[in-house]
Amino acid sequence: MISNQLKNQHLLWRAGFGPIPEEFHQLPDASSKSYVEALFKASSKFPGYIDVASNVIKGLVMGVDEISRQTKQLSDEEKKKLRRQSRQDIKNLNLTWLSEMVNSKQQLREKLSLFWHGHFASRNLNILYQQQLLDVIRQNALGNFGDLLAEVSKSAAMINFLNNNQNKKGHPNENFAREVMELFTLGRGNYTESDVKEAARAFTGWGATVAGEFIFRKPQHDTGQKTFLGKTGNFTGDDVLDILLQQKQTARFITQKIYKYFVNEQLDENKITWLANRFYQSQYNIESLLKDIFSSDWFYDAQNIGSKIKSPVELIVGIRRMLPMEIKNEDAQLLLQRLLGQMLFYPPNVAGWPGGKNWIDSSSLMLRLRIPQMIYVSGEIQMKPKDDDDQMMGRMDTATSPPADGKKNKGNAKMGAQIVGSIDWNTYLKKFENISREKLLGEISKVLIQTQVGIPESSIKKFTDDSSRENFIKTATIQLMSTPEYQLC
């Protein structure tokens, strides 16, 4: 029998980043329906624009002509400084959005934005483009998929990442057209090479200015007749997107990805068909699709609870929500993301992060199990990230998080960073103030562990501090968070 508390925690982990201590008293008795309603209501408000770009970057976007003149006058060293500043701004964007995931009441919107961040993966060292794309995703996360698709497709980040600025009449670049079909809408195998070529012709002339604004360069557009997915006409890029949305396969492809992300890696074809049909009939209303999922009895079935491996971002954010903390050296979180394989704004490739069991290997699992203890005692991370030059966009830097002594890292040296944080235990401890000592560990486990197979108490107790009730709760919590079972939600 699945407890009401476990069901509610399941919803909070899938539709957000896990519960916070202030919610503990509601978990056993509140209905899942009330939680679903509260999640959607809290996320109905449109989020504010996250702007961390420095003035030196903004100073170059006062006008395309002026930018062109200034850029030509910049020395190589000045250009390097601008690139370094943009990389630093992207790190700040990472940490600012991470903080929103931790603290925002719009948990569903931020969780869905993280999903779309992987679906519409884009690597770009221009902070202004990255900010714009993130805003498009966060604003449209729960809206209409067609609107989201159009705005992402016209974003400077995506146009530049997929080379559509180079897509011109007579010399079509197929990269953008291919990825729009393979990764954003239909999925591989549901279009032909001829469709790619014809779609590329339709997208000719689509570009973006240096300032990040979409521009249609009419002289570069191929005005000839095109045949795409069985339809013939003088198609533009907008026409291609409309035709893609007319395909039921698009609704199915998006539904499958959302099901894998929010429900289970193992697809249930009957449920996918039902959800995809309703998604298509709603004209791609994302909120309706998510309500269909979270309001269904099968979402809370045993096989779906505790079946998903937390992504690195989910893990970090979930710990910070469960144990409210102040992290004095926030940059340490960047190193953690990189070591664990999910650094925001640096997807491994155009397909985004593969997820699932790909999150875990021998080194990343050991680090995952150490994170709670490192936070508890302000421990030091002394590991060298994988030399993933592809992930770092050809600009390997050995200073993702500088060592505590301030000395410059050498290329082959291990990168080290100490997590300097302090946990506010007060609200968390109150949850357990009326629990008898012999039942404490069981109650703590109920809040932290989503798997239905319990952890032997003896294996936890031998590593706890039993000198006081408070120390027992703290150390038991850290030990439970350091188990393989805590990696699941």
Whether residue 79 has pLDDT greater than 90: no
pLDDT at 61 over 70: no
Cα gap 482→465, rounded to integer Å: 15
Is the pTM higher than 0.75? yes
- Identify which has the larger pLDDT, 144 or 58: 144
Residue 204 has pLDDT above 80, yes or no: yes
What whole-number percentage of the chain has pLDDT above 70? 91
**Mean pLDDT confidence for 211-226:** 96
63-67, 170-174, 402-406, 426-430: range with lowest mean pLDDT: 402-406
Q: What is the pLDDT of residue 415?
A: 52
Give 260-286 pLDDT, tens digit per residue.
Answer: 999 999 999 999 999 999 999 999 999
CB atoms within 10 A of CB 1: 5
pLDDT digits (tens, 9 = 90+) for 304-345: 999 999 999 999 999 999 999 999 999 999 999 999 999 999
Give the residue-averaged pLDDT of 21-33: 96
Average pLDDT over every residue of 109-119: 98
Residue with tokens 């809040």: 447
- What pLDDT, on the 0 to 100 scale, is given for residue 211? 85
> Do 122 and 134 form a contact (C-beta atoms < 8 A)?
no
Long-range contacts of 58-61 (CB under 8 A, 24+ apart): 58/128, 60/210, 61/128, 61/210, 61/211, 61/212
- The burial of 152, by beta-carbon neighbours within 10 Å (0-12 exposed, 13-18 middle, 19 or more buried), is given as buried
Determine which of 5-19, 61-75, 379-393 has the lowest per-residue pLDDT on average. Answer: 61-75
For the chain, which residues make up each domain, given as ranges?
4-42+248-304, 55-246, 313-421, 426-487
State the pLDDT at residue 397.
46
Region 123-131: mean pLDDT is 94
Tens-digit pLDDT profile for residues 358-417: 999 989 999 999 999 999 998 787 776 765 544 444 444 443 443 333 444 333 334 567
**Residue (of 50, 71, 48, 49) closest to 59 by Cα position:** 71
pLDDT at 65 over 70: no
